[in-house]
């Protein structure tokens, strides 16, 4: 296992946007990334919409597993993403 694979500081996140769409991404600093999206830096997706709130986050990924999970989530239909978000909200801590 390489050092990059051992780094589990990456997260997968979903942001609800002003047009009620969902944006899925990865970062090793989700708060910083959300701020960048809010300032229209980074993803072109935010050029016609603004990020409203972080609605989902999975932590403890390596860069590689975060990228794979991001792809999986992006393949979900909207209703499936809503179920994923709801399951995180209602899961006991």
**CA separation, residue 37 to residues 24, 33, 53, 88 (Å):** 12, 6, 11, 23
**Whether 50 contacts 38, CB under 8 Å:** yes
Can you list the alpha helix ranges (DSSP code H) found in 1-93? 3-6, 30-38, 63-74, 78-90
Its pTM stands at 0.88
Checking if the pLDDT of 3 tops 70, the result is no
Between residues 7 and 54, which one has the greater pLDDT? Answer: 54
Domain ranges of the chain: 3-90
The pLDDT confidence band at residue 4, using thresholds 50, 70 and 90, is low
Per DSSP, 26 falls in state E
pLDDT digits (tens, 9 = 90+) for 42-72: 789 998 899 999 999 999 999 999 999 999 9
The domain defined by 3-90 carries CATH number 3.40.1440.10: yes
């Amino acid at each position: 296992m390489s050092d990059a694979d051992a780094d589990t500081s990456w997260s997968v996140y979903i942001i609800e946007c002003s047009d009620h769409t969902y944006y899925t991404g990865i970062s090793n600093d989700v708060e910083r990334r959300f701020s960048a999206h809010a300032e229209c830096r980074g993803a072109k997706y935010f050029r016609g919409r603004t990020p409203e709130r972080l609605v989902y986050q999975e932590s403890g990924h390596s860069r590689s597993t975060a990228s794979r999970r991001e792809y999986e989530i992006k393949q979900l239909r909207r209703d499936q993403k809503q179920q994923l978000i709801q399951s995180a909200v209602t899961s006991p801590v």
